[in-house]
Amino acid sequence: MNLDLELRQSIQKAVSVLYNQAAEQLQLQPTNAEFEGSHTLVCFPLTRISKLKPEETGAAIGNYLVAHSGIIARFNVVKGFLNLVVSDKTWANVFAAIYANKSYGSLPATGKEIMVEYSSPNTNKPLHLGHLRNNFLGYSVAEMYKAIGYTVHKVQIINDRGIHICKSMAAWKLYGNGETPQSSGLKGDKLVGKYYVEFDKNFKTQVKELQENGVTEADAEKQAPIMKLAVDMLQKWEAKDAETVQLWKTMNGWVYNGFDVTYKRMGVDFEKLYYESDTYLLGKEEVLKGLEKGIFFKKDDGSVWVDLTGDGLDQKVLLRSDGTSVYMTQDIGTAILRFRDFPKIEGQIYTVGNEQEYHFKVLFLILGKLGYEWAKKCYHLSYGMVDLPTGKMKSREGTVVDADDLMQEMVDAARTQTQELGKIDEMSREEVDDLAEMIGLSALKFFLLKVDPKKRMMFDPNESIQLQGHTGPFIQYTHARIKAILRKASSMNIAADETALKNVTMLEPAEREVIFKINQYITKLQEAVREYSPAVIANYAYELAKEYNQFYQAVPIFNESDPVKLKFRIAFSEVTANTIQKAMALLGIRVPERM
């Protein structure tokens, strides 16, 4: 039963009968919490048809619906807003339809395809807190698209070339003494990141010494020996110097092995990896073609530029005077290659921080100027940075919050909290470890996803792990509580059946609220996809869990003597648990059977 559709049809019939005119567009919205009802009809647009005041129009439609629709029990009108109270029998029918639909929460395949890019790290440092928000966002958006019937291609671009990579290589060559992940005991990405920090430390020292000898700061930064070595390595790499390329392959290999461990624990995956070292060549080809066609222009120093002043932006360099590429060059090549690899995709979603908003405006404009119509189908999923109480993170100074360390801290905190609550006495060591992993990562993921992506946020580890409040563990605990109820029902041989559901005519207020929330799931999923916002799903899951807990406190399930109501409440609990599980899965979060 599609309640929203039936309600719209009933209202349209009411308008047709009352005023002998059709009402094609209806403004139907959720009722404000301060008023009774679940659906509100905005009556102001209908006064053109009714020739009555908004309040009078609402009252007339409300009376008709109560008398004839079989859906509405009563109504109230507040300043031209008709608040509708759906009958208990209708809500029971809505629930019965949901219960009977075993695939509720997922829409049929559409035949459409979409690509989602996320993570896209540099191979000169390990993943950090900002990467966690990026990965969780991208993965969740991909899962939401899957749920509405899309085929989704999850990809990332590995930024495996450029001066930043050469900085780590230069520092390792100067100070590494042959150190490897095996000899150091460090994950490969952490070892390479260590030398990125080492580069910055020595670079600053050298610049300071040059300045003390009368060299300007700008010249000192260019003349610093370690910087000159890094620039020389970049040029040798692009010239395919064998020794430089081999060191690059070795150090990148260390990093990839480290990334794989981190991604596995994050619970994210990718269908295809693209590498900047491959795509920048295609980007250079496209830029040179654009130069020949007059789309781009060359300056006196030999550098190639695009003029976007006519689009309200400025000029952007695409190839440096020495012929080397910039980020924009490889992004041009990557976008083109992806549409060649996956020609059926409707578009690309780039999950990248909001400091790159200008970059993507430029990228999409350039692709359009090159004649690629699909450039209009590209979308930048821009998100705000994650702040910490200690201030802004800086990779080159080694002040980032490492992703591996943070995930481990959250899991350790979850284990300590669970032990203190005495909830794990009957569990095996493996079960305890899995539960701690589940709770710790839930706390982290939910906290980073519950905030609208566009907003900057402060991550509070202590708040995120709490079992009460707007947290992932609270929702997990609610799911585990429901599973305990279902196990008890099973031990008492109480099972829901569809016949019993059809005989329900009266509901408790708390039951109506939970069914209303469950019935919103598909609408919320579609809203989340439309807004590219997992926060919609995260907050929906929290509201559903909160409403069920209020029901649990208000209605003693197993004290019910009426077998029809008892079976209904078991079915009601089962569907709630399933809906929580599906919503949390869209966020990449597992929910426990026991907790």
Which residues touch 432 (CB under 8 Å, ≥6 apart)? 415, 418, 424
Express each pLDDT in 131-173 by its tens digit. Answer: 999 999 999 999 999 999 999 999 999 999 889 999 999 999 9
* Closest listed residue to residue 130, CA positions, set 331, 355, 330, 334: 355
pLDDT of residue 392: 46
Question: Exposure of 291 by Cβ count < 10 A (0-12 exposed, 13-18 middle, 19+ buried)?
Answer: middle
**Angle in degrees, CA 241, 242, 248, rounded to 5:** 90
582 within 8 A of 589, measured Cβ to Cβ = no
- 405: exposed, middle or buried (Cβ count in 10 Å: 0-12, 13-18, 19+): middle
Q: Considering the chain, what percentage of its residues have pLDDT values greater than 90?
A: 87
Task: Return the number of other C-beta atoms located less than 10 Å from residue 519's C-beta.
Answer: 22
Structure tokens at 180: 């490897």
Calpha distance 32→30 (Å, rounded): 6
The pLDDT, as a whole number, for residue 294 is: 96
Q: Can you give the pLDDT at residue 514?
A: 96
The pLDDT value given to residue 390:
61
pLDDT above 90 for 90: yes
Domains and CATH numbers, the chain: 3-86 (3.30.1360.70), 113-276+334-397 (3.40.50.620), 403-586 (1.10.730.10)
Q: How far is Cα 283 from Cα 335, in angstroms, rounded to an integer?
A: 9
* Tens digit of each residue's pLDDT (9 = 90 or more) over 290-314: 999 999 999 999 999 999 999 999 9
DSSP structure string for 30-97: EPPTTSS-SEEEE-GGGHHHH-S-HHHHHHHHHHHHHHHTSSEEEEEEETTEEEEEE-HHHHHHHHHH
Kindly tell me if the per-residue pLDDT of 58 is higher than 50. yes
pLDDT single digits (tens) 517-552: 999 999 999 999 999 999 999 999 999 999 999 999
Q: What is the mean pLDDT of residues 250-278?
A: 96
pLDDT in tens, 334-357: 999 999 999 999 999 999 999 999
Compute the average pLDDT of residues 430-443: 95
pLDDT at 394 over 60: no
Whole-prediction pTM? 0.91
Split at pLDDT 50, 70, 90, the class of 398 is very low
The answer to whether residue 423 scores a pLDDT higher than 80 is: no
Helices (H) and strands (E) in the chain, counts: 23, 14
pLDDT-above-70 percentage for the chain: 98
Is 451 within 8 Å of 458 (Cβ atoms)? no
Confidence class for position 26, pLDDT limits 50, 70, 90: very high
> What is the rounded average pLDDT for all residues in the chain?
94
> Taking residues 283-292, what's their average pLDDT?
95
* Residue range 266-281: mean pLDDT, rounded: 93
Tokens coding 84: 């509708």
Task: Please check the confidence at residue 388 and state whether its pLDDT lies above 80.
Answer: no
Give CA–CA dist 53/46, Å, rounded: 9
pLDDT at 397: 46
CA distance 143 to 154: 10
pLDDT tops 90 at residue 477: yes
Lowest mean pLDDT among 253-267, 287-301, 394-408: 394-408
pLDDT per residue as tens digits for the range 94-121: 999 999 998 999 999 999 999 999 998 9
Q: Look up residue 360 and give its amino acid.
A: F
Handedness of CA 131, 147, 2, 88 (dihedral sign): negative
Specify which residues 345 forms β-bridges with.
113
DSSP reduced 3-state for 151: strand
Q: Are 41 and 31 in contact (CB under 8 A)?
A: no
Q: What is the pLDDT of residues 556-572, one digit of tens each?
A: 899 999 999 999 999 99
**CA terminus-to-terminus distance, the chain:** 35
pLDDT of residue 280: 86
**Is 393 a residue whose pLDDT tops 50?**
no
Backbone angles phi, psi at 71, to 5 degrees: -110, -40
What is the 3-state secondary structure of 108-150? Answer: CCCCCEEEEECCCCECCCCCEHHHHHHHHHHHHHHHHHHHCCC
Q: Which amino acid is at 133?
A: R
Measured in degrees and rounded to the nearest 5, phi and psi for residue 589 equal -115, 130
The mean pLDDT value for 45-66 works out to: 96
Altogether, the residues listed in the chain come to a count of 595
Amino acid at residue number 151 = T
Give 114's strand partners.
152
Q: Is 56 buried (19+), middle (13-18) or exposed (0-12) by CB count in 10 A?
A: middle
Of the listed ranges 174-178, 425-429, 452-456, the one predicted with least confidence: 425-429
Phi, psi dihedral angles at 507 (to 5 degrees): -125, 150
